[in-house]
Amino acid sequence: GAVVSQHPSRVICKSGTSVKIECRSLDFQATTMFWYRQFPKKSLMLMATSNEGSKATYEQGVEKDKFLINHASLTLSTLTVTSAHPEDSSFYICSAMKAGTVIDTQYFGPGTRLTVL
Amino acid sequence: GQQLNQSPQSMFIQEGEDVSMNCTSSSIFNTWLWYKQDPGEGPVLLIALYKAGELTSNGRLTAQFGITRKDSFLNISASIPSDVGIYFCAGPAAGTASKLTFGTGTRLQVTL
């Protein structure tokens, strides 16, 4: 089956620092990856769509300068939370979609829990 | 924007009981997906539905695509402790083929 990994699984950082989260598709090529944010006991909210070789598209209300996304290869997308603040603490989940497939072939990573002190 | 409301929000059931939950939308969906999320993990796809009226099973799970295309239902038969988790419905966001909109979730707790 398709496997998506995220690194790190947990990170604690000081307010004002930047944090990078990696999302990798381990056994397939993903032209499109998605980044979601999930607050405790809440649903997943799509933050941005990451396309290999092009700029990410952000959902309304998501600051692109704060959440930098890079999709440099068909198996790797990174999300950098810049100048993190306590309100950025959340569970960040990525998903990867196989090239040329439909919506039900979106595979999710295990998530990264970010805590900003 | 689109909203997917799930009911119930949470439920406590005893092992062996059957479970029913639903998902309703203010707009029509052409695809319904049901996911399960274990604590501290990403969601895993359980069932995908593509056609109004469709009934699809995956082991003890059965899901239905409502004929109005504005709702979907998930049933779990003979629940077991590992069924604990959050169940989300999801569908393609308006005007897109790949972005997902997730429902509000149903948290399931199974007691022995």
Between A and B, how many CB-CB pairs are < 8 A?
55
pLDDT above 90 coverage of chain A, percent = 78
CB of B44 within 8 Å of a chain A CB? The answer is yes
Q: Which pLDDT tens digits describe chain A residue by residue (117 residues)?
A: 679 999 999 999 999 999 999 999 999 999 899 999 999 989 999 999 998 888 899 999 999 999 999 998 999 999 999 999 999 999 999 999 987 777 777 899 999 999 999
Cβ neighbours of A37 in B, within 8 Å: none
Cβ neighbours of A34 in B, within 8 Å: 99-100
Cβ neighbours of A106 in B, within 8 Å: 45, 98, 100
Average pLDDT, chain A: 93
Instruction: Report CB contact under 8 Å: B103, A43.
Output: yes
Query: pLDDT per residue over A59-84, tens digit each?
Result: 999 999 999 999 989 999 999 999 99
Cis peptide before A40 (omega within 30 of 0): no
**DSSP, residue by residue, chain B:** ---EEEE-SEEEEETT--EEEEEEESS--S-EEEEEE-TTS-EEEEEEE-STT-EEEETTEEEEE-TTSSEEEEEE-S--GGG-EEEEEEEEPTT-SS-EEE---EEEEEE-
Nearest CA in chain A to B4: A43
Cβ neighbours of B95 in A, within 8 Å: none
Find the CB nearest A111 among B40, B45, B98: B40
Nearest C-alpha neighbor of B90 from the set A110, A60, A111, A36: A36
Instruction: Report CB contact under 8 Å: A34, B103.
Output: no
Nearest C-alpha neighbor of A35 from the set A11, A56, A16, A18: A56
**Backbone dihedral angles phi then psi of residue B81, each to the nearest 5 degrees:** -55, -35
Q: Which pLDDT tens digits describe chain B residue by residue (112 residues)?
A: 678 999 999 999 999 999 999 999 999 999 999 999 999 999 999 999 999 999 999 999 999 999 999 999 999 999 999 999 999 999 988 778 789 999 999 999 988 7
CB of B33 within 8 Å of a chain A CB? The answer is yes
CB of B112 within 8 Å of a chain A CB? The answer is no
Decide if A50 contacts A59 (C-beta within 8 A). Answer: no
Residues 6+ apart with CB under 8 A from B39: B85
